[in-house]
């Protein structure tokens, strides 16, 4: 049964990309540094059929769409191969191109705080997240974050996030562990090669959230800020 948190390697003809994806109760929610991915799936007789929308959240032109469009749809079919799932299909935005993906599970055993979200708390859903380093340090990260009743799952092409939060009255706070699913030292030297613990707090409303955080990467303590935008309620 396709349920749980996965890292994803996908390919359109010869072009390769990576992301994270959470599959649960017929929904798929995930993405990477530039695109949110969301859609549905159903399984019958061992075959999983899925329809996914890829939706740009990062306007940086250096991030190219493998499907040639800021919003694109993908129709795939696949099946289990041991613990992983393999899919194949195509997109109407790129007729004739072959889309393939491999989903490999990531452990996501996270226990949310009791009654984590109260009145005026942050909305469950899939968010884009844009992180900016402070104190004159260049760099940052962009990705996606799935928030649901006190649990955090997310990531991008190199990292995945696991964490917990509590929220009420337009505020939220929590903890995140940022880890690599694909070696990132060459692309992201600040976080690459480390398990990064992050504690944060900030404000939230029906459309998104802000946070200020302190991250411990190796022996370095780093301050950062981030903006979250709701891409898809869940």
User: Nearest 5 degrees, angle CA 181-CA 183-CA 189?
Assistant: 120
pLDDT score at 109: 79
For 184, what's the count of Cα atoms within 13 Å in the CB-facing half-sphere?
23
Would you say residue 185 has pLDDT above 80?
no
> Do both 220 and 151 map to the same domain?
yes
User: Could you read off the pLDDT of 161-181 as tens digits, one per residue?
Assistant: 999 999 999 999 999 999 999
Residue 220 falls within a domain, yes or no? Answer: yes
The pTM for the full model equals 0.92
> Do both 100 and 129 map to the same domain?
no
- Copy the structure tokens of residue 75: 């129709």
Residue 188's nearest CA partner among 139, 222, 225 is: 139
What's the domain range around 226?
Answer: 125-233
Residue 207 falls within a domain, yes or no? Answer: yes
| DSSP per-residue string spanning 36-52 | EEEEEEEEETTEEEEEE
> Do both 20 and 101 map to the same domain?
yes
Percent of the chain with pLDDT over 70: 99
- Copy the structure tokens of residue 86: 């393999």
Residue 120 falls within a domain, yes or no? Answer: no
> Do both 145 and 225 map to the same domain?
yes
pLDDT score at 36: 98
49 neighbors 2 (Cβ within 8 angstroms): no
Alpha helical stretches, state H, 56-100:
none
pLDDT score at 114: 83
Q: Three-state DSSP class for 2?
A: coil
């Amino acid at each position: 049964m396709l349920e749980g948190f996965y890292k994803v390697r996908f390919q359109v003809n010869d072009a390769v990309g990576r992301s994270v994806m959470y599959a649960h109760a017929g929904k798929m929610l995930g993405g990477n540094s530039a695109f949110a991915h969301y859609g549905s799936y159903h399984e019958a007789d061992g075959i999983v059929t899925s329809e996914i929308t890829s939706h740009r959240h990062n306007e940086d032109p250096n991030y190219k769409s493998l499907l040639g469009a800021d919003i694109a749809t993908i129709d795939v079919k696949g099946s289990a191969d041991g613990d992983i799932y393999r899919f194949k299909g195509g997109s109407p935005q790129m007729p004739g191109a072959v889309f393939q993906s491999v989903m490999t599970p990531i452990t996501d055993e996270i226990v949310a705080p009791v009654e984590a979200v109260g009145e005026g708390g942050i909305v469950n859903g899939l968010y884009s997240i844009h992180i900016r380093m402070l104190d004159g340090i260049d760099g940052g990260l962009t990705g996606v974050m799935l928030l649901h009743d006190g649990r955090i799952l997310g990531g991008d092409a190199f990292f995945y996030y696991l964490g917990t939060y509590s929220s009420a009255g337009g505020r939220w706070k929590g903890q995140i562990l940022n880890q690599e699913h694909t070696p990132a030292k060459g692309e992201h030297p600040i976080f690459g090669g480390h398990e990064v613990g992050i504690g944060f707090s900030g404000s939230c409303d029906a459309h998104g959230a802000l946070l200020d955080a302190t991250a411990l990467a190796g022996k370095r303590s780093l301050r950062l800020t981030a903006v979250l935008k709701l891409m898809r309620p869940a």
